[in-house]
């Protein structure tokens, strides 16, 4: 142990810890703009500087290790003055449009300016002028608001392994951009939005479809149908001051109806439908020598990643559409027919934890009868909260309501789709029944649960030894795919989630997402799974009825036409 002083109080620390680790554990707030928990510190922003007695200069607390007898002053006049100067210099080259910025009141730079008492502009001069990148259907990039903290670059490269953006130029002309400084739409970006979660300013944001949804709600000629993803109900409450993991499913349904939505469905229903199709596809591949391991296809950022970097494994991808797109497809076919509605007069809205879902909805493969999109607009959890606030909704005071039939019923197997490992666990529960004709004795497949980036298990199903793997975060996925490329052949089924931890930590979730909140969301989903009675996708009565009355059978002609798709190799600028 290292003995030291922080602000004239004695503290102990482990050898090798950084000053920032120790002062935060001591309950002292030292600001930072570039630090990412779990990654090697860079000390780039210098906002975390502290004064150490006996040292001539200030040191960055995020990257400086503690030492025996060290005396640290976290908020000395010198340290505060340095931080304030850094913020003032950043503001000197920052747009003065805070009132119009999507991050107004949620901006780290704005918050630090307020905390440090920046009230006057001490530095002037010509501001940088960059072109805003609006080419992507999912992410808007405004380099004028970038403070060059590098967090987006590090997440994209070190966690996701995509490297779609990097530092360009030198000196005062340095900025962050794509290869050849082209638009995100022709880059290797997979639209996951993890860069948005770590960006401290409004330099990165999701492309908003709130305006389009409001116009649809105000159009009497349109029937607005909304479906919400499994993870949204355990994250939305955080935007309204509720504890992380609070399930606001029924309250969200009530709020959606109050703002004018005609029908509210639960995408966990089509998560159950996905399991029926995907489980049947897996069994068919195993029995008929299909491409193995089969890779899940629920996460659109992951799909684009395979199309770009692993096109040789495209045959391994499940042909199933994601639950979002399955919902859009059945809304504009079965639901439209039963309700006597013109599919072109239905405005289908998805509430998703994911920015890549915006990209997915715009794919040409996701068109109803080749003319109209299955899903017309995608809102993130953040956008839905923004829409509710615009309409004066307070989720803490509302009474819950249930989702509409026929697509309101769901099982907890569909609900746990929101967590890494949830798709796999749901698939195992139903695949066991599809292969053996019997229910799995213990439905809790704990080997695939948790926030670890990679989990593997072996299962004995009626004498068949089945190998499964679960990975989240594309960097982890790439390592497993490299093993498969190199000849690994002991796996049958692989679940991949683009975002680390799964949809509960998706790029469209609340901006304050951290490990503590993600853990609370995870517990909430599995608590629902423990307390409810219907825990297998094949026990969803409405799913079975949909097959009987419309689709026929899993992998049948009609279900294949509506619920399955194909993917192709993509060429990108590198």
Annotate 155-190 with three-state secondary structure: HHHHHCCCCCCEEECCHHHCEEECHHHCCHHHCCCC
Q: Which residues contact 286 (CB under 8 A, 6 or more apart)?
A: 292, 464, 466, 492
Residue 383 exposure: Cα atoms within 13 Å on the Cβ side: 26
DSSP bridge pairs for 51: 73
Residues ≥6 apart with Cβ < 8 Å to 15: 1, 2, 66
Domains of the chain (ranges; CATH) run 1-127 (3.10.20.740), 211-563 (3.40.50.1780)
Q: What is the model's pTM?
A: 0.95
Residue in the structure block whose two tokens are 């680390």: 500
Q: What is the dihedral of CA 272, 244, 241, 36, to 10 degrees?
A: -110
The reported pLDDT for the residue numbered 370 is 73
3-state secondary structure of 224: strand
**DSSP letters for 503-555:** GGG-TTS-TT--HHHHHHHHHHHHHHHHH-S--SGGG-HHHHHHIIIII-STT
Measured between alpha carbons, how far is 159 from 258 in angstroms, rounded to an integer? 40
What is the per-residue pLDDT for 369? 73
DSSP string, 378-430: EEEHHHHHHHHHHTT--GGGPPP-PPPSSS----HHHHGGGSTTHHHHHHHHH
Q: In this predicted structure, what is the pLDDT of residue 367?
A: 87
Positions of the chain with pLDDT under 50: none
Q: Mean pLDDT in the chain? A: 95
Positions marked catalytic: 278, 281, 298, 318, 357, 360, 365, 503
Q: Are 466 and 493 spatial neighbours (Cβ–Cβ below 8 Å)?
A: yes
- Measured in residues, the chain has a length of 574
Is the Cβ–Cβ distance between 194 and 155 less than 8 Å? yes
Q: What is the largest CA-CA distance in the chain?
A: 80
Q: Which stretches of 277-415 are assigned E, i.e. beta strand?
A: 294-295, 346-352, 367-368, 372-373, 377-380
Name residue, tokens 């400084």. 181
How far, in Å, CA of 351 to CA of 358, rounded?
10
Pair of tokens at residue 327: 């919902």
**Phi-psi group of 38: left, alpha or beta (phi > 0 → left; psi -120 to 50 → alpha; rest → beta):** left
pLDDT of residue 298: 96
pLDDT of residue 574: 55
d(CA 194, CA 175): 19
First and final C-alpha spacing in the chain: 47
- CA 400 centroid distance within chain: 26
Peptide bond into 160 cis (omega under 30): no
Do strands 49-52 and 2-6 pair parallel, antiparallel, or not at all (unpaired)?
unpaired
Scored b (16 or more CB within 10 A) or e, 444-470 reads ebebbbbbebebebebebeeeebbbbb
| SS3 call for 295 | strand
Q: What's the CA gap between 198 and 10, in Å, rounded?
A: 33
């Amino acid at each position: 142990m290292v003995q030291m002083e922080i602000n004239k109080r004695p503290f102990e620390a482990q050898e090798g810890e950084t000053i920032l680790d120790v002062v935060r554990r001591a309950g002292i707030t030292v600001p930072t703009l570039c630090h990412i928990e779990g990654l090697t510190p860079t000390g780039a922003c210098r906002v975390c500087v502290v004064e150490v007695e006996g040292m001539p200069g200030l040191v960055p607390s995020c990257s400086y290790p503690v030492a025996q007898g060290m005396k640290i002053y976290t908020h000395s006049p010198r340290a505060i003055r340095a931080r304030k100067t850094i913020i003032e210099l950043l503001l000197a080259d920052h747009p003065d449009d805070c009132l119009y910025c999507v991050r107004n009141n949620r901006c780290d730079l704005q918050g630090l300016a307020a905390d440090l008492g920046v009230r006057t502009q001490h530095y002037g001069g010509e501001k940088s002028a960059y072109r805003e990148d609006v080419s992507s259907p999912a992410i808007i990039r405004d380099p004028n608001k970038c403070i060059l903290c590098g967090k987006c670059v590090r997440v994209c490269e070190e966690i996701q392994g995509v490297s779609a953006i990097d530092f360009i130029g030198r000196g005062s002309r340095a900025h962050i951009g794509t290869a050849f400084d082209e638009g995100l739409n022709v880059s290797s970006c997979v639209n996951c939005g993890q860069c948005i979660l770590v960006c401290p300013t409004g330099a990165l944001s999701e492309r908003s479809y709130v305006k389009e949804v409001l116009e649809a709600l105000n159009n009497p000629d349109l029937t607005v149908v909304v479906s919400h993803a499994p993870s949204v109900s355990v994250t939305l409450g955080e935007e309204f001051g509720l504890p992380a993991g609070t399930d606001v499913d029924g309250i969200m349904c009530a709020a959606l109806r109050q703002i004018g939505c005609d029908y509210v469905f639960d995408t966990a229903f089509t998560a159950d439908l996905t399991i029926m199709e995907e489980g049947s596809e897996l069994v068919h591949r195993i029995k008929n020598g299909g491409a193995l391991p089969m890779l899940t296809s629920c996460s659109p950022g992951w799909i684009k990643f395979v199309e770009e970097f692993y096109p040789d494994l495209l045959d391994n991808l499940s042909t199933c559409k994601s639950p979002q797109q399955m919902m859009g497809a059945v809304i504009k076919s079965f639901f439209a027919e039963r309700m006597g509605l013109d599919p072109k007069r239905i405005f289908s809205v998805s509430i998703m934890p994911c920015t890549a879902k915006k990209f997915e909805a715009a794919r040409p493969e996701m068109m109803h009868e080749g003319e109209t999109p299955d899903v017309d607009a995608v809102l993130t959890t953040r956008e839905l909260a923004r829409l509710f606030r615009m309409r004066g909704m307070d989720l803490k005071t509302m009474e819950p309501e249930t989702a509409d039939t026929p697509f309101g019923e769901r099982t907890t197997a569909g609900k746990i789709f929101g967590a890494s490992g949830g798709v796999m666990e749901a698939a195992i529960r139903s695949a066991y029944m599809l292969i053996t004709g019997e229910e799995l004795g213990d439905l809790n497949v704990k080997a695939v649960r948790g926030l670890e980036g990679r989990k593997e298990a072996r299962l004995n199903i009626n004498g068949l030894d089945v190998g499964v793997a679960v990975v989240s975060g594309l960097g982890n996925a790439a390592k497993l795919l490299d093993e498969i490329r190199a000849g690994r052949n002991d796996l049958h089924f692989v679940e991949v989630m683009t975002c680390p931890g799964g949809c509960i930590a998706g790029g469209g979730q609340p901006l304050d997402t951290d490990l503590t909140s993600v853990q609370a969301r995870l517990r909430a989903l599995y608590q629902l799974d423990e307390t409810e009675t219907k825990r297998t996708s094949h026990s969803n009565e409405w799913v079975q009825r949909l097959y009987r009355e419309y689709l026929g059978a899993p992998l049948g002609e009609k279900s294949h036409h509506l619920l399955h798709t194909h993917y192709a190799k993509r060429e990108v600028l590198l």
